Amino acid sequence: MGRLKVFILVSIPGFISSPLMAAHNLWDLSLEELGNIEVTNLATGSPTPLNRAAAITTVITSSDLVNMGAQSIDDALMTVPGLYVSRSDQAYSPMYIFRGIYGNLNPQALLMVNGIPHKVLPFGNRGNGWKGVPIEAIDRIEVIRGPGSALYGADAFAGVINIITKTSLEVEGTQVGMRAGSFNSQEAWVQYGGQVSEWEVFFNAHMGTTDGHKASIDSDTQTLFDGLAQTFDPDPNYDPASRAPGHMNTGYKSLDLNVDVSRNEWRIRAGYQNVDDMGLGVGVANALSPESFYSTESANFDVSYTQDIWDQDLNLISEFSLLYDEQAAVGDTKVFPEGAKVPDVCTITLTCFPTFYEFPDGFIGNPGYKEIQARLTQYAVYTGWDEHRVRVALGVTWGDVYETSETKNFNTDNSPKPAGIVDVSDTDEVWLPEKQRDSYFVSVQDEWQIARDLQLVAGARYDRYSDFGDTTNPRLALVWLTSDDWTTRLMYGRAYRAPSMSELYAAANPVALGDTNLEPEVIDTYELAFHRSFDGGGHYSLNFFHYRIEDLILLTGQQFTNIGERKGKGLEFEFESKLTTDLTLVGNYSYQKSEDLATNEDVGNAPERQAYVSLNWASSAEWNVNIEGHWLGTIERPPGDVRDPIGSESVWNITARRMGLVEGLEVAVSVRNLFDSDWRTPSADSVPGDYPAPGRSGNVSVSYKL
C-alpha cells in the first residue's frame, strides 16, 4: 500500500472477520498473522495493530520516502498533520512544532532512533548541528502527536518521532547510489544486507556535501545595532558593520555510518555522524557571519538481549546504550562581524542609557562541549493473564557534560577584553560549567481487553532526577470498535519536559542565565478521535484535542524562569482513497489555536491551518510518479512582535521514478517547490524578513543493486 498514514485507529471492515478479530487477544496472534496487519510499536511500546493504537500516530514507510523524493527526514515530517517544520536561528536547524507548541530550541519534541532518545543535555534537543539519519538507511518513521512521557519520559511533551533504521531483512546484497542537484549538492552511499558467518548484518555509509540555499537576508541584528549606535552615539566616520543585505550560510559536509548486526536473541547497533564546515544560517545571534563555521560529531551504540520465558508468557528485553556528542567552532565564530558596535547588556535589556562597545575584529565567541550518556533499561511484557497485557520497565541514565570550553574577546557585560581573545575554559566565565545528571525511572502499563470491542490502556511512569527532583506522568486510552466500520477513541495523557543544563546552569552568558530552581514543564492533553473505513481500503479520520501547559520555561530579561502558561485546541482530519488500481490519493488538514494565558494572545510562530495532498501513480513495476502539495496558512506573531503575520503559501513537489531500465538500476528525478513560492519560516524580530526557505530546486538520484 503506497503511503501508510496511521489514521488514528484504522478500522478496516475486513478486519472484523480477520484473525485480528477472531483472536480474543492481540497477543494470541501468530507472527504470520501480525505480518499481514499494519502495526505500530510507538503507541504502547509493543507491536499493536493500528486500529488499536493508544495514541494518534503516523507511520511513514521507506517506500513512502522514496516515492515522495524525500532528501531528509524534514521532507517526510512535513507530511504529518499538526506538525510544522520550522527553522531555528541556530545553524538553521529544524524545529518540529507539534500543535503550535514550541520553545527556544525546540526541546518539546522528543526524537528517538530505534526507540532510544537522541537528545543532548546542554540544550535538551537533538543537537543544533545534527542532520538526521540518511533517508537510505531508514525503514520507517513513526510519529506520535501528543504526550508520550508515560512511556518515553522527558521531552515526549508535544510529540515523539521515532526513526527505525533498516536491518538485513530490508536490504538484500549490496546497493550503491548517488544524488546530485541544486545548491551544488552531492551525495553518495553504499549499503549491504546479508549474512556474515552466523550474524545477520546491515551496513550503510553515506557521504554528502552542499553549499546550501543562499537565500538573501535584507536586515539582521547588526543592522539594528548599527542604527541604534548612530542614534545614541553618532559617528560620521562609522561604516555600518552589518553584512546585510547578504546571504545565509546553510552549507555543510557530512559523513554517516550505520551498522546493525543480530544473532538469535542478540542485536547490536552503532552509528556515527560527522558534520563539518557547517554554516550558521543567519548566525548565532541573527547577525550574518558567512565566514563562521561549526563542526559536530555524534556516535551511538546499543546492545539488546531478548528472551521469552514461562511458556512465552513473559517477554524480557535488556538494553544498554551509549550516546556521545561533541560540538566545536571551526576557527573563530564571529557573533557580530568585524567593525561591529555592540550595546552593553543593560542596553539590550533596556535598563540603562545606551552604551556601545567597538569590536574591530568582530565580537568573537567559540563555545564547545563534549558529552556522553549511558542508559540501562529492562523491559518486561507479561501476557499470562487473560484479557491483559502488562508492560513494566525500569531504567537508569547517567549523563556527563565535560570539557565545556570557550574562547572569546568579550566580558559578560559585552565590553571588550583588553587582551583580545582569551581562553576562559575551566573558569567562571565559561558558557556552561561541567555537570553530570543522573536519573532513573519505573513505568507500568496495562492493555486490558474489557470486551471484544472495548479496550482500556492505562499506565504511568515515575522519573527521578539528581538535579531537580521527580515527576509522575499517567495516561489513559479507551478504544471502542463502535461498529464494523467505525472506531472511537478517548484519551488523556500528561507529559513533562526536563529543564536543559543551559536553562539550569548557564552562568556567564550575557543574555541568558540559568536558574537552578526551575521545575519541569507540564502538559495535560485530552483527545477524542474517530475513524471510518470503506470497502476497497479507503478511510478517513477526525480527531480533536485540547491541552494546557504549566510552568513553561521562558527567557524573561536575562533569566530562564517557569512563568509560561498556555492552552491550545484543534482538530486533525486525514483521508486516503484508492482512486484506481494504480492511483492513490492521500491528504490531511489540521487546525490549531494556541494561546498565551498571560496575554490572552496567540503564541504565534506556527500556522493555525495546514493542508497536505499527495497523488501517487504506480504503473506496474516500472514507473512511479508522485505529486504532493503543502499549504501553510497564516502564521501569527508571538506577543510583543508587532510585525505583520506571515501570509499563507503553497509549495508543490513532483518526483518521477523509473525502475528496471537495466536490471537492478533505478533512476529518479525530483523537483521541489515547483512554482518557486516565496515560502518563509518565522524569525526573531531582529531579522524582520524572516528565514527564506529554498526556492525551486531539483535533483537526480541513481541507485543500483549489485
pLDDT for 11: 29
**Higher-scoring residue by pLDDT: 495, 53:** 495
Counted domains in the chain: 1
3-state secondary structure of 322: strand
**Pair 614, 627: CB distance under 8 Å:** yes
Reported as a pLDDT band with limits 50, 70 and 90, residue 43 is low
Domain assignment present for 548: yes
d(CA 513, CA 557): 9
Q: What does the pLDDT look like over 431-445, one tens digit per residue?
A: 999 999 999 999 999
The type of residue at 393 is A
Nearest to 246 by CA among 118, 337, 167: 337
Cell triple for residue 388?
A: 491483559
**Pair 405, 380: CB distance under 8 Å:** no
- Give me the mean pLDDT over the 604-622 stretch: 93
Q: Give CA angle at 349 (551, 336), nearest 5°.
A: 110
Least confident of 199-208, 236-245, 349-358, 480-489: 349-358
pTM: 0.92
List phi, psi (to 5°) of 270: -150, 150
Look at residue 145 and tell me whether its pLDDT is greater than 60. Answer: yes
d(CA 420, CA 408): 8
Look at residue 159 and tell me whether its pLDDT is greater than 80. Answer: yes
**Pair 699, 678: CB distance under 8 Å:** no
Average pLDDT, the chain: 89
Domain assignment present for 382: yes
Cell triple for residue 424?
A: 576562559
Nearest to 88 by CA among 694, 695, 691: 691
DSSP designation for 239: P
d(CA 347, CA 345): 5
What's the Cα-to-Cα distance from 621 to each of 176, 513, 655, rounded to whole Å?
Answer: 20, 58, 16
Nearest to 64 by CA among 84, 80, 49: 80
Domain assignment present for 1: no
**Pair 252, 280: CB distance under 8 Å:** no
Domain assignment present for 5: no
Beta strands in 607-647 (DSSP E): 609-619, 623-632
pLDDT for 559: 84
Look at residue 3 and tell me whether its pLDDT is greater than 80. Answer: no
Domain assignment present for 7: no
Reported as a pLDDT band with limits 50, 70 and 90, residue 29 is very low
A 10 A CB-CB count for 352 gives: 12
pLDDT for 42: 67
Cell triple for residue 106?
A: 525546540
pLDDT for 103: 83
Which range marks the domain in which residue 543 is found? 13-705
Domain assignment present for 490: yes
Look at residue 185 and tell me whether its pLDDT is greater than 80. Answer: yes
Domain assignment present for 501: yes
pLDDT for 141: 94
Cα 482 from chain centroid (whole Å): 34
Q: What does the pLDDT look like over 518-559, one tens digit per residue?
A: 999 999 999 999 988 887 778 899 999 999 999 999 887 778
Nearest to 362 by CA among 421, 308, 413: 421
* Burial of 360 (C-beta count, 10 Å sphere; 0-12/13-18/19+): exposed
Look at residue 149 and tell me whether its pLDDT is greater than 80. Answer: yes
Number of H helices, E strands in the chain: 8, 40
**CATH number assigned to the domain comprising residue 182:** 2.40.170.20
Look at residue 591 and tell me whether its pLDDT is greater than 80. Answer: yes
Q: What does the pLDDT look like over 71-88, one tens digit per residue?
A: 999 999 999 999 999 998
Least confident of 338-352, 532-546, 569-583: 338-352
3-state secondary structure of 466: coil
- Give me the mean pLDDT over the 355-368 stretch: 93
- Give me the mean pLDDT over the 275-300 stretch: 93
Domain assignment present for 8: no
What's the Cα-to-Cα distance from 279 to each of 90, 276, 291, 292, 293, rounded to whole Å?
Answer: 10, 9, 8, 7, 5
3-state secondary structure of 238: coil
**Higher-scoring residue by pLDDT: 106, 376:** 376
- Give me the mean pLDDT over the 340-360 stretch: 80
Look at residue 56 and tell me whether its pLDDT is greater than 60. Answer: yes
Reported as a pLDDT band with limits 50, 70 and 90, residue 605 is very high
d(CA 586, CA 577): 6
